[in-house]
């Protein structure tokens, strides 16, 4: 059991390193050439489920529950780059996981407002410092003094969102935690 736990920890660390390298490459390409979308018809729910499967081992290791909610039963079809949307969701979920405590939950809610699809990720952590909110989606921005990231994940989320014609915002939940 101890050996399996050590192997899982090594594998998770390796995945984080690979994600950082890939984030750096994505950001570099996006800034040089713009994000090149490979749009195709896709289902937002399927992309969300795959993103949750990807981050589930980290959530389990941290004893954090992942909750997926879809506001309506209608299919949420869109013309988008599924790989980049999954990356956006994974980055948001990982950010929420890193700011949550053991036993808390991270929520991913999908909804529709008029013709727009909304993705809402919430955690039960401390939330964002008010002075960090205007800069969260800038390159190399980090929230909090003990941040372990390099400030590329939310920046890349902004680039992906904007490339798809969307926007991304952050706020603090009045009951505690962050919401993106």
Evaluated on CA atoms 45, 79, 82, 119, the torsion sign reads negative
Going by C-alpha positions, the residue among 70, 44, 68 that lies closest to residue 56 is: 68
Separation CA 149–CA 89 (nearest Å): 17
Q: What is the pTM of this model?
A: 0.81
* CB of 121 closer than 8 Å to CB of 148: no
Q: Which residue has the tokens 């890193």?
A: 98
Name the burial class of residue 75, with classes exposed (0-12), middle (13-18) and buried (19+) by CB atoms within 10 angstroms of its CB. exposed
pLDDT score at 7: 75
* CB of 171 closer than 8 Å to CB of 133: yes
pLDDT score at 176: 86
pLDDT score at 135: 86
Per-residue pLDDT tens listing for the chain (180 residues) = 667 766 776 777 777 677 767 766 666 666 767 778 899 999 999 999 999 999 999 899 899 999 999 987 778 999 999 999 999 999 999 999 998 999 999 999 999 988 889 999 999 988 988 888 888 888 766 665 455 555 678 888 999 999 999 999 999 988 889 999
* Residue 82 burial (CB count, 10 A): 18
pLDDT score at 147: 52
pLDDT score at 8: 72
pLDDT score at 2: 67
Question: Residue 128 half-sphere exposure, CB side, CA atoms within 13 Å?
Answer: 22
């Amino acid at each position: 059991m101890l050996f399996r736990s050590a192997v899982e920890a090594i594998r998770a660390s390796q995945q984080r390193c690979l994600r950082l390298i890939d984030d750096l490459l994505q950001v570099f390409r996006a800034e040089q050439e713009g994000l090149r979308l490979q749009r195709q018809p896709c289902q937002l729910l399927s992309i969300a489920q795959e993103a949750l499967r990807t981050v589930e081992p980290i959530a389990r290791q941290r004893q954090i529950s992942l909750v997926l909610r879809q506001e309506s039963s209608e299919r949420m079809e869109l013309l988008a780059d599924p790989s980049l949307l999954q990356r956006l969701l994974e980055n948001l979920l990982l950010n929420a996981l890193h700011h949550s405590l053991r036993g808390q939950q991270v929520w991913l809610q999908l909804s529709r407002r008029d013709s727009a699809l909304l993705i809402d990720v919430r955690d039960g952590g401390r939330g964002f410092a008010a002075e960090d909110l205007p800069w969260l989606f800038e390159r190399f921005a980090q929230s909090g003094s003990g941040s372990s990231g390099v400030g590329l994940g939310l920046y890349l989320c902004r680039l992906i969102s904007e490339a798809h014609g969307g926007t991304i915002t952050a706020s603090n939940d009045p009951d505690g935690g962050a919401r993106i």
